Structure 1
Amino acid sequence: MTPETELEQLLAARYSCRAFRPDPVPDQLVDRLFATAQRTPSWCNTQPWQVHLLGGEATARFAKELGEHVVAHEQVADLGLPAYEGIHADRRREAGYGLYSALGIAREDRAARSDQMARNFSFFGAPHCAVVTTGRDLGTYGAVDCGGYVNTLMLGAQALGLGVIAQGAVAMYSDFVRGWLDLPEDRLVVCAVSFGYADENDPVNAFRTTRADLGDVLHRLDG
């Protein structure tokens, strides 16, 4: 067997960081990260992503006001709310229980689970938060292209020694995000990506999710 490629190593090491140090990432490194992500391929080279990058006091203000909004309002998602059924519900449940177990939170401790969920809206303490949007008129393919962009961004962060997490939870309140960022109506909120330096002493960053077996997802047609 050949040695692992750099991509394989990055994918094996990558995880969703849920605890960050407060130290900001230097501008030069941030620029390098987003320049890398800009190489993402897209349908007909449309490059539908627009990114609003928050840092410093802007991150803190956004987190505070988003958190207040979440407590008092229902979810409104530009791309619709997901429905988890069957194997998808099972995987989601496994990931949730695994996360809470890593933090020592009992299944019946709803208050602690709610507090952990609320950390999504303070970006888990990350000093930087990037909100990714797509063009409304590009439909599903614009969102798919943005997913590719987010993946490149996360792997780029991993390659630069940064912690990173993609956050669909932020997009569940697209109406608030649109108003806060003064986005035009033709932009759809896809997700947020929070990043910085991982707090490696926090037990939450020892948690890892599982992956389905290849035979469960790969369907070969050779004849």
Structure 2
Amino acid sequence: MTQIDTLTDILKSRYSCRAFRPEPVPDEVISRIVAAARHAPSWCNAQPWQVAITRGDATDRFRKALAAQVDMGSAPEPDLAWPTSYTGVYSDRRRACGYQLYQAAGIAKSDVVQRQAQMRRNYALFDAPHVAIVSSPAELGAYGAMDSGGFVTAFTLAATALGVATIAQAAIAAYAPTVREHLGIAETRLILCAISFGYPDADAAVNQFRTDRAAPSDIIDWHG
């Protein structure tokens, strides 16, 4: 097997885990994940990413803080503006992913209450024992965020290679002020996303489906 085959297998094995077992990931395994992910490329080697990682009671306190904001009906305050819309194929893919999730969870399309309850699971971190909050310097703007996206990808792949499941969550960034205050993250940094992680509940229905990927011919625009 070649190195590209190994990488492809890891890429195909990674999925967004939405049900975790409670046991923690050892510190040394988490350190190995970050040690691998730090090799992600960045503009001018700025390496703008920083991660605040919770464990034990700190994870539970954080999820309770998020739930409190949701329960109060607090308006979202993301540091980065949400997408203005999803159109065309992007809308189709987003809708297909949602339908697959609800079908796996046994939720009817018309069941708005249960769909909202499933969405709210984001703020319980899907019961993961850990969450990593990814931030970058505000002064680097979109380019720091783009570089940090590479780190998020590398983190999730390194975790997969070590048998640790992950889910990258933009939903957590909706409550950036709460995240920043709770974890002591400076105002000079943008809250980009969360990565909830731990060992997967392999029997959970919501972990059984996999999303499709566009073919290379749908992605490449050849010139010359």
TM-score greater than 0.5 by the shorter chain: yes
- Structure 2 stretches of 5 or more lacking a match? none
Matches within 5 A, 1:92-131: 92-131=94-133
For 1:34 and 1:11, how far apart are their aligned partners in 2?
17
Counterpart amino acid of residue 75 in structure 1: P
Using the TM superposition, give the Cα deviation of residue 102 of structure 1 relative to its aligned residue in structure 2, in angstroms. 1.0
> 1:3 deviation in Å?
9.1
Q: CA shift at 1:4, angstroms?
A: 6.1
Distance 1:127 1:172 in 2: 21
Identity of aligned residues (%): 49
Distance 1:163 1:50 in 2: 20
Q: Which moved more, 1:127-136 or 1:33-42?
A: 33-42
State the partner residue of 2:82.
Answer: 81
Which amino acid letter does the alignment assign opposite residue 13 of structure 1?
Answer: S
Counterpart for residue 18 of structure 1: 18
Contact 2:65 2:178 in 1 (8 A): no
Q: Secondary structure of the residue that 2:54 maps to in structure 1? A: strand
Aligned match of 1:59: 59
CA shift for structure 1 position 66: 0.3
Distance in 1, matches of 2:108 and 2:54, equals 34
- The count of aligned residue pairs is 222
Deviations 1:61-99 (A, max 9, x none): 100110110232111111111232222122111100111
Distance change (3 Å), C-alpha of 1:175 and 1:2: closer
Distance, in Å, in 2 between the alignment partners of 1:136 and 1:33 is: 25
Secondary structure in 1 aligned to 2:146? Answer: helix
Aligned CA RMSD, in angstroms, stands at: 1.5
Cα distance change of structure 1 residues 2 and 30 upon mapping to structure 2, 3 Å threshold: closer
Amino acid at match of 2:34: F
Out of 147, 150, 153, which is 2:152 matched to? Answer: 150
Residue aligned with 1:58, SS: helix
Offset, 1:134: 0.5
Q: After TM superposition, give the deviation of residue 177 of structure 1 in Å.
A: 1.1
For structure 1, the residue ranges without an aligned partner over 5 or more in a row are: none
Give the match for residue 44 of structure 1: 44
Moved more, 2-11 or 85-94: 2-11
Partner of 1:202: 204
